[in-house]
Amino acid sequence: MKYIYVLIFAVALVSCKSQQPKVTANSESQPAVETNKAAVTPEDTSLIFPEEKHFKSMRQITFGGDNAEAYWSFDDQQLIFQSNNKNWGVSCDQMFLMNVNDSFKDKMPSMISTGKGRTTCAYFLPDNKHFIYASTHLGGEACPETPMKIDGKYIWPIYDTYDIFVADLQGNIIKQLTDEKGYDAEPTVSPKGDKIVFTSTRNGDIDLYTMNLDGSDVKQITFELGYDGGAFFSPDGTKIIFRSSRPKTKEEIKEYKELLAKGLVQPTSMELYICNADGSELRRLTNLGNANWSPFFHPSGKKILFSSNFESERGFPFNLYMIDIDGKNLERITHGETFDAFPVFSNDGKYLVFSSNRNNGGGHDTNLFIAEWQD
């Protein structure tokens, strides 16, 4: 699960940059997608800060609530994202479907989750007609409580009612992929279309596992004590990048185990790790301090885009950074003063969708943006 709330709330009270760009008329609702249409239009540059040289153009998609984890269909024609926008009739995160040229300033997207429980991490399957996602709805129709702090420290809930499901684009659940006791969530699909990587507490810790698209052949691929999650495959499917919070001292281990026993994890200290798709040749990629998370491979497979607050003294802002897979050539990508995270490249490598507090009028909303990428 890539919870957005703790990190967003840490920055939500801070106003946006004083020279924050304004939305143009191009941000209005767009017609349904056509296969030969671009995700953004070239003249859309007003949302880009001057230092953001990798963004050629940008378009805002949502205009209220917390919107995050937008993932592309394999043909790059649609995206699924999660939102808690109260104007869309939901009390906590549910899944919504959009065509690539859509925006939702004056309309509502189609909800394709059940509307029950809390959902997270929807990802298209290769046929572009089905998707996987995690949901707590079997544990109850109400949204589970979301504790934010304990003893003054930010925490994430690891709901043991999360399981992973397959559904069609009309929201009909086709199959339940996990039924083990404990947390099963954060699933993503290999670009090769053959494997799913996900996070589970089935062994008593929070580790990564892989399985086939039908839920068979489950294999554990990380084994060290600590939280391993938010995993994604490389473009060729041979490697996996993920975030991890691994306690080392006796005090850290004690605190980690006590929180885990309560279904909680503390996300304020995370680094990125990379390994082969079977878990071999595991190594730490970053050693930056603070929270380094929401990693995603650059289309070349040789770099990682991720969100971090390692340059922040008070926990914010979070910006996007890029680093080579050997840990060299760290580069800052975004230059906001609040929150940028969840970068995801389209499969053709031309566009980047991400979540940001930019252009929210200084409020709490976190919206989706699609940027045209240039190296």
The predicted pLDDT at position 151 comes to 80
The sheet carrying 219-220 orders its strands as 184-189, 195-200, 207-212, 219-220
The predicted pLDDT at position 41 comes to 60
3-state secondary structure of 252: helix
**For residue 315, what pLDDT band results from cuts at 50, 70 and 90?**
confident
Contact 221, 229 (CB under 8 A): no
Provide the whole-model pTM. Answer: 0.90
Burial of 86 (0-12, 13-18, 19+ CB in 10 A): exposed
Question: What residue segments make up the domains of the chain, in order of their start?
Answer: 5-373
The predicted pLDDT at position 285 comes to 98
The predicted pLDDT at position 43 comes to 56
Give phi and psi for 78, each to the nearest 5. Answer: -140, 165
Reply yes or no on whether the pLDDT at 271 is more than 90. Answer: yes
Report which of 68, 83, 178 is spatially closest to residue 132, judged by C-alpha positions: 178
**For residue 15, what pLDDT band results from cuts at 50, 70 and 90?**
very low
The predicted pLDDT at position 154 comes to 87
Identify the residue with better confidence: 144 or 36.
Answer: 144
Contact 190, 157 (CB under 8 A): no
Mean per-residue pLDDT for 309-336?
Answer: 95
CA 349 – CA 224 distance, rounded (Å): 33
pLDDT in tens, 74-117: 999 999 999 999 999 999 999 999 999 999 999 999 999 999 99
Reply yes or no on whether the pLDDT at 12 is more than 80. Answer: no
Residue for token digits 């941000």?
27
**For residue 30, what pLDDT band results from cuts at 50, 70 and 90?**
very low
pLDDT in tens, 206-227: 999 999 999 999 999 999 999 9
CA 223 – CA 307 distance, rounded (Å): 25
Q: Give me the amino acid identity at 296.
A: F
Reply yes or no on whether the pLDDT at 350 is more than 70. Answer: yes
Residues 322-341 as b or e (16 or more Cβ within 10 Å = b):
bbebeeeeeeebbbbbbbbb
Percentage of the chain modeled with pLDDT above 90: 82
CATH number of 5-373: 2.120.10.30
The predicted pLDDT at position 267 comes to 86
Reply yes or no on whether the pLDDT at 281 is more than 80. Answer: yes
